[in-house]
Amino acid sequence: MQFCEVLAKRRTIRFFQQKKVEKEKIISLLNAARFSSCAMNKQILRYAAVTEKNMLKRIFDGTAWAAKVQPRRTPVWGKTAPDCFIVVHGECEKNAPFVKFDVGAAVMSMEFQAQDLGLGCCWLGSFDRQDVHELLKLGDDRYIYAVVAVGYPAEEPASEDIELADDQSYYINDNGVLTVPKYTVEALTEFYEG
């Protein structure tokens, strides 16, 4: 797939096929994360890739999905749930003030790699942080920044171009397609041309 197509076609996926994600593909995602830009090249993020069913279910139970269209894009365990969660953790922000930028870069790299491999992701900020922390037996010096759901997509969301005056909330259109409005380049950018 051309990179411009990966960029344009990548959408957050919340319904997944009940199909195993191959370990090599999970490793490809983690490779994309480790090659990402990070402040001072400190590489302070660490990852836990969870595919064990009981652990998967426990993390899944603490997640919340697509608040704007609930419950229409809330996956169901055993039917549309992801096959893998990648947990991203690192030092606490007070010791690593740029860590959230690193997280953004790493997660987006994983999302693009996933798109290229025919996989889909959902970056989850809504999860039971304390429970996942206990489950993974992380130390007190660790903080979980993100959980990324990964699997083979069972939906095909679309984007649409909008102007600044338009509502940017994602919605489900008349054909049942999750539609994600994105402001145009012109709406978002001031050009100072030479």
Ligand X SMILES: Cc1cc2nc3c(=O)[nH]c(=O)nc-3n(C[C@H](O)[C@H](O)[C@H](O)COP(=O)(O)O)c2cc1C
Q: Which of residues 48-107 bind ligand X (CB under 6 A)?
A: 64-66
**Is residue 14 a contact point for ligand X (CB under 6 A)?**
yes
CA distance 45 to 38: 9
E strand or H helix at 89, and its extent? strand 84-91
Omega into 157 within 30° of 0, i.e. cis? no
Smaller CB separation from ligand X, 12 or 21: 12
Smallest distance from ligand X to CB 108, Å: 9
Map tokens 């102007």 to a residue. Answer: 163
**Is residue 109 a contact point for ligand X (CB under 6 A)?**
no
E strand or H helix at 60, and its extent? helix 53-61
Smallest distance from ligand X to CB 162, Å: 13
Query: How many Cβ atoms from other residues are within 10 Å of residue 123's Cβ?
Result: 17
Pick the piece of the chain touching ligand X (CB under 6 A) from 31-39, 46-54, 84-92, 119-127.
119-127
**Is residue 124 a contact point for ligand X (CB under 6 A)?**
yes
Omega into 71 within 30° of 0, i.e. cis? yes
CA distance 129 to 127: 6
Smaller CB separation from ligand X, 12 or 113: 12
**Is residue 158 a contact point for ligand X (CB under 6 A)?**
no
**Is residue 123 a contact point for ligand X (CB under 6 A)?**
yes
Which residues here bind ligand X, judged by CB under 6 A? 11-12, 14, 64-66, 122-126, 157, 170, 180
